C-alpha cells in the first residue's frame, strides 16, 4: 500500500535501492523506529521523503510519502495509537531545496490501521 501526502511529483531519484546497495551509497538513511502490535516497525527515512512500515521479514508493507525530504522521527499518538506523527527537518537544505519543500521542518500526521504500542513511563531521579 502506498499513500502520498503532497510529496513532490518527481520522486524517481528516491526509489528504494537494491538490497545489495551498501548503506553508504543509498540516497536515504533510516531514522528512529517505532513498533506496532504486530511486531512490524515504522521507520522514517532521512533524505527519503517518506515513512515505511516493514514486516519482520524486511518486506515493505506500507509507504507514506511526505512533503519534506528529511523525516527525523516517527511517533504514535491519539487515544487508540492509530495516528502517526512524523517530524521533519530543514537542516542542511539550501534555499533552492527549501523552495521545493516549503513544509520542511513541520510535523505531519497520518492515520494507520494497526495501532502502535504504548510507551513505558519511567521515573528519573
* Fold designation for 2-6+27-111: Thrombin, subunit H (2.40.10)
As to burial, measured by CB atoms within 10 angstroms (0-12 exposed, 13-18 middle, 19+ buried), residue 40 is middle
pLDDT in tens, 6-58: 444 433 333 344 444 444 555 666 666 676 677 888 999 999 999 999 988 88
Residue pair 74/84 in contact (Cβ under 8 Å)? The answer is yes
pTM of the model: 0.71
pLDDT in tens, 76-99: 999 999 999 999 999 999 999 999
- Terminal-residue alpha carbon distance, the chain: 44
Q: Which sign, positive or negative, has the C-alpha torsion 98, 93, 33, 61?
A: positive
Amino acid at each position: 500500500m502506498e499513500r502520498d501526502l503532497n510529496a513532490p511529483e518527481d520522486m524517481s531519484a528516491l526509489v528504494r535501492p537494491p538490497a545489495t546497495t551498501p548503506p553508504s551509497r543509498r540516497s536515504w538513511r533510516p531514522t528512529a523506529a517505532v513498533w506496532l502490535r504486530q511486531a512490524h516497525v515504522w521507520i522514517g527515512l532521512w533524505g527519503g521523503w517518506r515513512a515505511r512500515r516493514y514486516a519482520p521479514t524486511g518486506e515493505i508493507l506500507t509507504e507514506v510519502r511526505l512533503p519534506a525530504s528529511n523525516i527525523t522521527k516517527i511517533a504514535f499518538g491519539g487515544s487508540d495509537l492509530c495516528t502517526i506523527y512524523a517530524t521533519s527537518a530543514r537542516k542542511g537544505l539550501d534555499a533552492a531545496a527549501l523552495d521545493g519543500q516549503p513544509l520542511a521542518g513541520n510535523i505531519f500526521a497520518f492515520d494507520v490501521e494497526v495501532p502502535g504500542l504504548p510507551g513505558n513511563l519511567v521515573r528519573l531521579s
